[in-house]
Structure 1
Amino acid sequence: MRFFDDTVEYHGFWGSFGDLIWWFFTVFIFFAYLMALFSVIGDLFRDRKLNGWWKALWIIFLIFVPFLTLLVYLIARGPGMAERNAAQVKKSQEAADDYIREVAGTSPADEIAKAKSLLDAGTITPAEYESLKAKALS
């Protein structure tokens, strides 16, 4: 009893360049689909104008008819999706800028200038000015 036909050669996974290209293309499409799916799910939960029932309905359709629902969502709600994403990026950038400004503080020259203006106004004594100046320079 023969299990293999002698006329068919098996080259393994790496045997055919066309099979290799097709495999990479398939994997690329799968990951692109997953990225789009997670973007849509993230957008659904980011959207504050859409009520919970509509969000649940979109999720149900994404589970049972995923590819078609994903295309419909991207066509119907794509512009809003881009606007919400841009708003989120802007909000994150502003938060990062505020944090950097808060952490950076002022330069030693700014601190010395403030101390000098306090000295000139008579708010602090020359000894306090020298102390603040030494602190800023250290």
Structure 2
Amino acid sequence: MDDDYPLLELFWTMCWFFLWIMWLFLLFKIISDVFRDHELSGWAKAGWLILCLLLPFIGVLIYVLVRGTGMTERETARAKEAETAFQDYIRTSAAGSSGASGAGGGADELARLADLKEKGALTEEEFRKAKAKLLA
């Protein structure tokens, strides 16, 4: 009874189990990436899902080879958006707690003006005039 399942077979079973779990993680990552990508059409999303679900190992491998770099870029962009939203939330919360008429409100307005200037919504002259009016 002890020789029915030798140690080497147990080792290989654990390796296959580990690879299967890693494949599941990768499959869920790919599915979430497919649904979050706004550049893909509905047909393209359906095609990738069918490929990954009907030909699981080959489909996942093809997706990683074809769109792997884009996955990283999209994930990085999502992380930056989340960080920006978090920083904006902190700024608005801090400005709300210190009062809009206090120094925090002026600094917040100055930050908004600088942001508008960076985006090109304000010219340098408009920025200087608004800054002078705010600081006066």
TM-score interval, normalised by the smaller of the two chains: 0.5 to 0.7
CA RMSD of aligned residues (A): 2.8
Q: CA deviation at 1:64?
A: 1.1
TM-score, normalised relative to structure 1: 0.62
| Higher normalized contact order (CA 8 Å, seq sep 6+, divided by chain length) | 1
Aligned equivalent of 1:45: 35
For 1:51, the aligned partner's letter is S
**Among 44, 49, 61, which residue is 1:59 paired with?**
49
Q: CA deviation at 1:85?
A: 0.6
Aligned equivalent of 1:80: 70
**Among 7, 14, 23, which residue is 1:24 paired with?**
14
Q: When the two structures are aligned, how many residues end up with a matched partner?
A: 102
Task: Kindly report which structure 2 residues correspond to 1:108-123, keeping only aligned pairs within 5 A, or say none.
Answer: none
Q: What stretches of structure 1 of length at least 5 have no aligned partner?
A: 1-9, 115-138
CA offsets 1:44-100 (integer angstroms, 9 cap, x no match): 011111100111011111121111111111001111111101101111122222233
Q: Decide which structure has greater helix share.
A: 2
CA distance in 2, matches of 1:113, 1:41: 47
Larger Rg: 1
Q: What stretches of structure 2 of length at least 5 have no aligned partner?
A: 105-136
- Tell me: CA distance 1:107–1:48, structure 2 relative to 1, closer, same or farther (3 Å): closer
Q: Percent identity?
A: 37
CA distance in 2, matches of 1:57, 1:113: 55
